[in-house]
Structure 1
Amino acid sequence: MIDWLGALLRLRVNGYPDIMILDRVKPLDAILAAASKKSLKRTMSGFQLMLFGIGCIIGTGIFVLTAAGAQKAGPGLMLAFAIAGVICIVAALCYAEIASTVPVSGSAYTYTYATMGEFLAWTVGWALVLEYAIAASAVSVGWSGYFVGTILNETFGIHLPAWLSGGPLALGGVEGGFINLPALVIALLVTWLLMIGTSESAKFNAVLVTIKVTALTIFIALTLPQVDAEKFNPFLPAGLFGGFGSGVGAVGAAATIFFAYVGFDAVSTAAEETKDPQRNVPIGLVGSLLFCTVFYIAVAAGAIGTIGGQPIMGPGGIPFPAGSEELARQCALPQFSAALVCSDEALAHVLRQIGWSGVGNALGYAAFLALPSVILVLLFAQTRIFFVMSRDGLLPEVLSRVHPKWHTPYIVTIATGAVVAVAAAFLPVGQLADIANAGTLYAFAMVAIAVLVLRRQRPEIPRPFKVRGVWFVAPAAVAGCVFLFLNLPFEAMMVLPVWSVIGLVLYFAYSRSRSHLGRGIVEVVDDIEGDEDLVPIKPPEA
């Protein structure tokens, strides 16, 4: 299926003559054998895994990005949720099949390694590093908005100086901003929690998911009865398509809102730490996505139908970009101070505007308590991607070192948390979400291709969850991901190729020559302390 592509990509690399870029496909049997001898303990049930996905999906996308989405699409935000949801469903079906077939850590990285080879697996893993780290930063910024607005301002009457509560205006932050201190602190605190153990983190997450679902149910119950149909007119003030690279319109909003659905991908990265993954991973993936999509659309309808959600227009009738310096200046004007698109705590703000200030503050408390669970899930997934790539020899082996007491990859967790905290301190949530989506969409498209390749290569492998009509579903997932990528803001689109070039330099300068598979060995981890059996295999043919 991919032989013709491999033939076109013959290069001379690192002194080896005539090496095919797509030469190193990790034996699937070896991956499954390694999965039975893990260094990470299986602690999560199917129900915990579903809560794990809900914990990531219900978060910044609905508590925070509602405002950014409304600025891009106006009332068309509801359509944007539907577009993103449909694309997520077809992608989730592909994830469910391959995650139940290959139940190991590494998510799209491992699936690509077992089907299309090391080179493409590296590009996917590198994109996932970008996705999870930037996404965790975005959620940290979203949490900061509720902490400053609800906890400090509304509850205690404390007004944190602008220079401590937002990034620089030149980077899309706030007027007078220098550093988002609350975002920095919460990212570091969650990093510490994740470092002390997966089981403890999952239990903590389950409590916070309950809080979030309860808060959003109350929001829906209070807002839907007060919906005014006139608030949805015009429904598409920026049109359906804003144009290539514009990031506006309903489709542009869908490209941003897609950020809120990355939870089902994080579920698959936890397969290696899940009891009975053949049964529980599909439940966690599909169940969490379907549950959350209903909430997304209902909450968006309640928010826009009560106080309105028309974008603030710039020159030529085009909305000011979300997270831009121009929009920040407009939101500082008195006539826009109460607008949904200007709020850093969108849902709490809606309830205050319709006379439910006390409940609005309570929802702010719920977001304050619950959004850290989203950061936790994203950091969890990111560190596990690093862990598996390190275990394969593509990254320094120190990154796969496991703590003797906590049984977690503590070194990579600390390093990742530090990077996430710094990004959260200086960048706005809208820009972070768009950047994260670029990596997300690439990884999702590669998973859909991997499903097709595995069906062709290994049709005999048991598939506890099998997608019906995969020859339509998988290409639809790829097309949907490409479609949304092309509707991201141009600056966000360019981040992925730049990041990829950096990754390719690292791969050819370091990773390819140190790859365990390239050296003719497959690493099997026997226990949590990191003892290894290095199993010789036939070196890949050039």
Structure 2
Amino acid sequence: MSSADPPQPPFALRRFDATAMLLCAIVGLDTLGSVAARGPQGLIWMAVLGLLYFAPYGLLIAELGSAFPQEGGPYVWTKLAFGRFTAGINQVFYWISNPVWLGGSLCVTAIATFESFFFPLPGGWKYLAGAVFIGAAGLAVHASVRSGRWVPIAGAVARIALLGFFVVSLVLYALRHGVHPPAAGDYTPTYLGLVALAPVIAFNYMGFEVPSAAAGEMADPKRDVPAALLRGGLLSALLYGVPIFGTLLVLPSEQVGSLTGFIDACRAVFTVYGGHIGADGTVVLTGAGSVLAMVAAAGLIIGLLTSGTAWAMGVSRAQAVACADGAGPRWLGVISARRGTPTRVNLISTGIAALVMVASLALSGGDAQKYFTAGIGLAISATAISYLLTFSSFIVLRRKYPHVSRPYRIPGGQVGAWTVTVLTVGTMLFAVVALIWPGLGVGWFGTSGDPAGYLPTGFEGQRAAYTATQLVPVVLIISLGCLLYALGARHRRTIASAAFTTQPDRGAFVETH
């Protein structure tokens, strides 16, 4: 190692680890059904948003992550651009979305998968299953970097193996039973489809910055982050498009549910190994079909678990960095010297996820689909709100720090920089508004359609109730951010008010006992 090389942590994450973390963060298996449920035009809008949002988003993060490689990633970038208070509030949105997602849609989907492939979970057994799921995620995030790196690796392998096996099974199913390809006209993109799909597709594409949030654990973030983004981005697009297309080939669009769509498609294609589909569409698996389906179900649950843990590894560190910097109480900024993880933030995150899980099962009244739609909506909106400032910080940092070395730089000068900023910020703004007010623009200016028809499943005719599930938490998150900032006042008085330097820094206090 030359004297010019950046100091490395005791055990450093490598490019392969960053790519695995990226795959787990971006490829969220809980939302495959949500896109497939909107029919073939979902694939078209995925391609369009892939070009207009996913690609610019990757380019933007590649430059930010390589130019400002401090641990804490999004918090650091936002602080340098807009100051500590704004960055602190923004970071709380980014952080809190993870336990809401983990205890909400990820846990609900995992339980639905278990019940679909193994056996029903009556009464309190659902709570026990949810506790095991969240507890496993908490233990994985709490583990040392040396051990914890295997979690996203296992998740990446599980995704590739599961989706690869699904494709092979789909081919065998098509040869034996044929498929039902959608009509060509069904692929025509419409504005109504965009309004319904933009938030969930944008959420599918989120996660490029997660490795940067743990940049302090990486061997060479300036080189590894851009390389991981390129590899992970291409693999993610493939791992999303193929199973969604396969689901639409196997199941009629009217039978695809946003919660269980991909699960139902898996059950259908696994009948080629043993089982049959009844005249009423009921799937019965037997013999090898039943065994292989259970193996695939275990892989799906692992994929869901590692989605939450990969995100948590990034967002928890970013929150610890924010608190260590004075945007919260000092004790939340402690990093365990033995494990190299933000133990206290992780414990709080696990507790929040457990509360969300209990609330989801207690308040859904048995309607898992209703809570799934509300929970996934809140997770998307919280993350998207935080991205509004994170993406905006890019153009500000170009102006404030023009002389900082940028190993990767978006081509096109200021025109290129403004283009990716407008595309990414604009997409997030549209997603947030479309989530808070489903059916945005439908029926306006004399056009056809009823906005009420775009309320999520389970909230038909209940716009006020659904809007409350999105706006009330936003107010609570802002209040929590302000409270944490107030609790950090004493700590801020003890540290320098200067901005972070542009040299790699772990960014958080390390426990010495």
Question: Shorter-chain TM-score: what band?
Answer: 0.7 to 0.9
| 2:22 is equivalent to residue 58 of structure 1 | no
Specify which of 279, 282, 285 is matched with residue 226 of structure 2.
282
Range with greater deviation from structure 2 (134-143 or 522-531) = 522-531
Listed as ranges, the matches of 1:116-515 within 5 Å are: 116-137=82-103, 138-150=105-117, 152-153=118-119, 159-162=120-123, 164-165=125-126, 180-223=127-170, 226=174, 228=179, 230-232=181-183, 235=186, 240-242=190-192, 249-310=193-254, 339-341=255-257, 344=260, 346-354=261-269, 355-356=271-272, 357=285, 358=289, 359-427=292-360, 428-468=371-411, 469-490=416-437, 491=467, 493-495=470-472, 497-503=474-480, 505-506=482-483, 509-511=486-488, 514-515=491-492
Q: What secondary structure, in the 3-state scheme, does the structure 2 residue paired with 1:455 have? A: helix
User: Which segments of 5 or more consecutive residues in structure 2 lack a partner in the other structure?
Assistant: 273-284, 361-370, 438-466
- Per-residue CA shift, 1:476-519, capped at 9, x if unaligned? 11112112222214336525641454146426644456435886
1:404, distance to aligned residue in structure 2 (A) = 4.3
CA contact (8 A) 1:109 1:122 kept: yes
- Per-residue CA shift, 1:407-460, capped at 9, x if unaligned? 322122111111112212332333222111112222323233211111112211
Range with greater deviation from structure 2 (124-133 or 274-283) = 124-133
Q: Could you tell me which residue of structure 1 aligns to residue 79 of structure 2? A: 113
CA distance in structure 2 between the partners assigned to 1:505 and 1:454 by the alignment: 25
1:406 maps to amino acid: R
2:102 maps to amino acid: A
Q: What secondary structure, in the 3-state scheme, does the structure 1 residue paired with 2:12 have? A: coil
CA distance in structure 2 between the partners assigned to 1:411 and 1:507 by the alignment: 14
CA distance in structure 2 between the partners assigned to 1:402 and 1:43 by the alignment: 16
CA contact (8 A) 1:223 1:303 kept: no
2:327 maps to amino acid: L
CA distance in structure 1 between the partners assigned to 2:265 and 2:407 by the alignment: 44
CA distance in structure 1 between the partners assigned to 2:161 and 2:396 by the alignment: 42
CA contact (8 A) 1:67 1:343 kept: yes
How many residues are aligned here? Answer: 436
CA distance in structure 1 between the partners assigned to 2:397 and 2:212 by the alignment: 17
Normalization by structure 2: what TM-score?
0.77
CA distance in structure 2 between the partners assigned to 1:46 and 1:516 by the alignment: 38
Check 1:130–1:521 CA distance in 2 against 1; reply closer, same or farther (3 A cut).
same
Normalization by structure 1: what TM-score?
0.73
- Alignment RMSD, CA only? 3.0
User: Which segments of 5 or more consecutive residues in structure 1 lack a partner in the other structure?
Assistant: 1-34, 154-158, 166-179, 243-248, 311-338, 532-542
CA contact (8 A) 1:228 1:305 kept: yes
Q: Percent identity?
A: 18
- Per-residue CA shift, 1:501-539, capped at 9, x if unaligned? 4146426644456435886467987997447xxxxxxxx
CA distance in structure 2 between the partners assigned to 1:106 and 1:189 by the alignment: 24
1:146, distance to aligned residue in structure 2 (A) = 1.9
- Per-residue CA shift, 1:270-317, capped at 9, x if unaligned? 21111111000112223212211122112111101221223xxxxxxx
CA distance in structure 2 between the partners assigned to 1:465 and 1:496 by the alignment: 37
CA distance in structure 2 between the partners assigned to 1:236 and 1:496 by the alignment: 36
Check 1:407–1:465 CA distance in 2 against 1; reply closer, same or farther (3 A cut).
same
Check 1:163–1:509 CA distance in 2 against 1; reply closer, same or farther (3 A cut).
same
CA contact (8 A) 1:232 1:308 kept: no
Q: What secondary structure, in the 3-state scheme, does the structure 2 residue paired with 1:74 have? A: coil
Specify which of 61, 64, 85 is matched with residue 95 of structure 1.
61
| 2:42 is equivalent to residue 77 of structure 1 | yes
